[in-house]
Amino acid sequence: MKPGLEPLPSQGGIVRPQGLVRAATGDALKRYLDVRAATVELCAPLAVEDYVVQSMPDASPAKWHLAHTSWFFEEFVLARAVAHHRPYADPYRYLFNSYYNTVGPMHCRTARGMLSRPTVAEVMAYRASVDERMASLLDTGSLPDGLAEVLTLGLEHERQHQELLLTDLKHLFSLNPLRPIYRERPRRGPAPPTSLRHLRFEGGLTPIGHAGTGFCFDNELPRHQALVRPFRLANRPVSNGEYLEFVRAGGYEDARLWLSDGWALAQCEGWQRPIYWSRSLEEEFTLTGTRELDPLTPLSHVSYYEADAFARWAGARLPTEFEWELAAGTALPAGNFVEQGEWHPRAALPVADRAAPDTLVQVFGDVWEWTQSAYSPYPGYSPAPGALGEYNGKFMINQLVLRGGSCATPREHIRASYRNFFPPAARWQFSGVRLAGDCA
């Protein structure tokens, strides 16, 4: 066992770093330790067996998330900042590389669940070693030129994996007939409904993209002008109850409502309802266990195809990402994020109706909102040189943009200009719908 590590009997010999609870000597070190600790805390309810399984090609085992986020700091910070750096284990450079071809070859993504070795304990030891070395580096209070930005990118990358960790675990647990519960949570009592209204926005020549000096991903730049026609946008996301009407009205049997690719996929896969709803349409699977389907809770875990079909059925459409970003500037910044520990979307609070009848609610948190916008580069976009240029740019095809964050997103990770993206068939994310329409 490496120095500074000790087994945790409650987690089958898994190891964690010792001594990293010391007072941080700088903001960078504190931020680093806080983000890294949050990832490990998300794994606290897991049994050792839960860490290893890969439920589908798009998901990754919890063990892989823990290792890959550590690999990122070793590969892009420690290897560049530490003289005569030696990797913790040469095979890990191959096993835990995700898609960085510039770095070198990588293990097949769809076979990550085959990696019974290294063990969970060995991965945690690897994580601890990276944290010890990063803490020693950050204790100095300075980083070589350019690495402060890479450190921040690494922390935001880890926050992305915190959300993926939860959504991948939810998909994994949903396939188990025992219906495991990630974490117990008391259920909220029924809330009065928040009436659905469509708010008008005049549009115009609108600045789009990140502004200011804070962090953003390169796909949020350059800031530019987009011409947005007058539009209307629903004041809240579509609810379970509203989508239930679509299901019961035969929405999954009416090809006229669906894009061709979506209809073919829905027929091939036998889609009849959102992925975590029961056959009876009375319950849904959540990270806090199977619960009665709440008609007022925002709809989640639908693909772009389902979102688009519902919008057509409702006589509306999905917003563009430019419409969404323009409207988000008028919204309250608060929301239901991972820090709330709800692990599930929650119904809109009716107080918003009385206090601000013309304000959008639940724009941030609860559910990601599909837009009709293809994930493509902004005018003038150029990826960064080197391996980190592979982070976003090479995925700008065959994906759609989502906005706003979810109940599994860290609060500090989100902003109005943030562009999430997934293929149109993706259902295992906390993805929902906000309706839009044209104005005369």
Helix H or strand E segment including 422? strand 420-422
CATH architecture entry for 5-174: Up-down Bundle (1.20)
Which pLDDT does position 187 carry in this prediction? Answer: 75
**Measured between alpha carbons, how far is 394 from 160 in angstroms, rounded to an integer?**
18
pLDDT at 352: 45
Q: Which tokens is 225 given?
A: 């002008």
Q: Tokens 């299901």 — which residue?
A: 247
Planar angle of CA 215, 220, 225, nearest 5 degrees = 125
What does the pLDDT read at residue 308? 98
Count of C-beta atoms within a 10 Å radius of residue 100: 18
Tell me: the pLDDT tens digits for 307-348?
Answer: 999 999 999 999 999 999 999 987 767 899 999 999 999 998
Q: Which residues of the chain have pLDDT under 70?
A: 1-26, 189, 332, 350-357
156: its two tokens: 């935001």
Q: Which top CATH class is 198-438?
A: alpha beta
Whose tokens are 């419409």? That residue is: 323
Amino acid identity at 274: P
pLDDT, residue 350, reads 60
Per-residue pLDDT at 355: 53
Q: What pLDDT shows up at residue 212?
A: 85
Task: Give me 392's structure tokens.
Answer: 């976003």
Rg (CA), the chain: 22
Burial (Cβ within 10 Å: 0-12, 13-18, ≥19) of residue 394: exposed
All structural domains of the chain with their residue ranges: 5-174, 198-438
| pLDDT tens digit sequence for 225-243 | 999 999 999 999 999 999 9
CA distances for 88 relative to 122, 145, 153, 282, 305, angstroms: 11, 24, 21, 50, 44
d(CA 305, CA 124): 39
